[in-house]
Amino acid sequence: MGEKRARKASKIIIILLIFVIIAVGAFFAVQFFTKTGIFRIPGVVYYGDSLTSAETGIFEGIFDEKIDLDKDVTISGKWALEKPTTSRGEYLYEVLVPVTDFYSTETNVDVNNVTELLDESFKTANNFELIPVSELDFSKKLLSLNGKYYLDNFDSGAVYRTIDFDSEKFEEEIEPLIVDVFKKEFPSKESTLTFAQTGVTALSRRMNSRLNAVGGDAAYFSAEIGPFLSGFDITHTSNESSFSSYASNANICSDKRFVDTLTGIGLDVVELTGNHNQDCGDQAAIDTIDIYNEKGIKIVGGGKTAAEAAVPLEIDQKGTGITMLAFNQSTGGATLDNTPGANQYYENTAASQIKEAKDRGDLVIVDIQYYECNAYASTYEDPICDRANSSAGDQVGFFRHLIDLGADVVVGTSAHQAQTFELYGNGAIYYGLGNLFFDQTDWPGTTRSLVLSHYFHNGKLLQTKLVGTIYGQDMQTKLLDADTMKWWLERLVKVKP
């Protein structure tokens, strides 16, 4: 009886042992086939050959020996000439833009593919370099790429670097580790403030006659240039002519219908530093200021009184603060008491206003109505007025002094013929922009003007692109063609201080 029980107990033990062995075997078999438990193989990081050594170094610092991944990850990079649409595991890592010397008259780089663009010999032969857009500033000239200008569309005109992380557990394992590496803000239409500064506007004299000849349609004069200028967040001009019922082909007064020319360019800021705004009397100047106010057009450099004229224009848009100051220096038309007119230049006022603006972190643009060149009225291409010192006084010294006081950009807005430009100190100077709208059609030098296309991002001036305009006997302002623009810039650069 005892022996029978012993055999039964042994059988049970054997069965239990078999069960345990099977269970343990199954347990380890599952681990073996699923690569878990003691058979688990840690995830491996594979660095593709497409990564640069710098990129590999960054990611090796993240995926070090302390990181225990469950699944493999392959990291690779690629370049593109169009901004890519990223999907799961892809990030825009860098944007490189083509730049050249500030004074270069080149505007574009033509390239067949990314490989050619990145080739050092190609860059040397074409006199440009590629820099991260985070390093872009006004001291280098941004070039278009295959005719596309990065700051105008942001989806092309640059070379785009993306990094791809291929992992079955990207969201769980990879994304939390690398998210900080890709916290970069690249310029976009929503974050980049565009500001067009134009030169002299004087919708007057023979333009009044021309207005009647085109059936009173003042939008005729801005029809060609309007779509370009109204595309900026802020558009400025220096208007020297007040609206008046006494406007004729013999005075610098504007038919009231000319307000449609100004709205046709999307005018946001009007400068009143000119010396002709009182030509048709104080009341016309006051009424004109009222019209600007009704249209929501901001005023700088002039006003109904001296105190009003001296108030700086403060702009705060898209994360950028700009203080705009505008002064009349020795051309007449200034308000010195309680009459309308231009803002007279005073050294102490300019210095204190620039300092106040810089102390609050603003960029400062100073516009100056300076002495005019007295030789621009030539029926041939006369380069005398291209020079910054072509007029009375020390124009170069005066404008540079404003940079020394802290201004970021100094602009001459009195020149009827555009003048040269330069980098100086920590800023840029544009000595004269020329005529945007006027009746001076007989002299080649006065039919062209420069538009300063400023691009700001996060309180930084990224670039000032020079765009040319021209009008003819039709007095209809148009964009200047590329070949003429190149020739003209070469002429202006040649006489820089």
Taken in order 250, 253, 255, 257, the sign of the CA dihedral is positive
336 pLDDT band, cuts 50/70/90, is: confident
Taken in order 345, 346, 347, 353, the sign of the CA dihedral is negative
DSSP, collapsed to helix, strand or coil, labels residue 252 as coil
Give kind and range of the element (H or E) at residue 396: helix 395-404
At 434 the pLDDT is: 97
At 381 the pLDDT is: 87
Single pTM value for the model: 0.91
Which amino acid, one-letter code, is at 86?
Answer: T
At 41 the pLDDT is: 67
25 pLDDT band, cuts 50/70/90, is: low
CA within 13 Å, CB half, 254: 26
Name residues whose C-beta falls within 8 Å of residue 334's C-beta, 6 or more positions apart in sequence: 328, 341, 342, 343, 344
Asked if residue 401 has pLDDT above 80, the reply is yes
Min mean pLDDT across 25-29, 131-135, 261-265, 331-335 is at: 25-29
39 pLDDT band, cuts 50/70/90, is: very low
Name residues whose C-beta falls within 8 Å of residue 126's C-beta, 6 or more positions apart in sequence: 109
Cβ proximity of 238 and 200 under 8 Å:
yes
Question: What is the rounded distance in angstroms from the CA atom of residue 106 to the CA atom of residue 128?
Answer: 10
Rg of the Cα trace of the chain? 33
At 427 the pLDDT is: 98
Q: Which two tokens stand for residue 376?
A: 């621009």
Over residues 486-493, mean pLDDT: 97
At 331 the pLDDT is: 78
∠ CA 83-84-87, rounded to 5°:
150
Q: Which domains does the chain have, with CATH numbers?
A: 45-182 (no CATH), 192-494 (3.60.21.10)
Name residues whose C-beta falls within 8 Å of residue 12's C-beta, 6 or more positions apart in sequence: none
Asked if residue 322 has pLDDT above 90, the reply is yes
How buried is residue 360: exposed, middle or buried, by Cβ count under 10 Å (0-12/13-18/19+)?
Answer: exposed
40 pLDDT band, cuts 50/70/90, is: very low
Min mean pLDDT across 36-40, 124-128, 132-136 is at: 36-40
Min mean pLDDT across 16-20, 53-57, 119-123 is at: 16-20
Asked if residue 465 has pLDDT above 90, the reply is yes
Q: Which two tokens stand for residue 350?
A: 């300019």
pLDDT more than 90, % of the chain: 85
At 338 the pLDDT is: 84
Cα of 171 vs its chain's centroid, Å: 36
DSSP, collapsed to helix, strand or coil, labels residue 67 as coil
At 424 the pLDDT is: 98
DSSP, collapsed to helix, strand or coil, labels residue 449 as strand
Q: Residues 468-471: contacts with CB within 8 Å, 24+ apart?
A: 469/198, 469/225, 469/436, 471/435, 471/437, 471/441, 471/447
DSSP structural state of residue 480: P
At 1 the pLDDT is: 55
Q: Which residue has the higher pLDDT, 32 or 128?
A: 128
Backbone angles phi, psi at 389, to 5 degrees: -105, 30
Over residues 70-97, mean pLDDT: 96
Question: What is the rounded distance in angstroms from the CA atom of residue 163 to the CA atom of residue 50?
Answer: 10
Per residue in 231-257, pLDDT tens?
999 999 999 999 999 999 999 999 999
Question: What is the rounded distance in angstroms from the CA atom of residue 198 to the CA atom of residue 167?
Answer: 53
Question: What is the rounded distance in angstroms from the CA atom of residue 163 to the CA atom of residue 129?
Answer: 22
Backbone angles phi, psi at 209, to 5 degrees: -65, -40
Q: Which two tokens stand for residue 299?
A: 């005023």
Cβ proximity of 70 and 143 under 8 Å:
no
Question: What is the rounded distance in angstroms from the CA atom of residue 343 to the CA atom of residue 348?
Answer: 14
Q: Which residue has the higher pLDDT, 209 or 11?
A: 209
Average pLDDT for the chain = 93
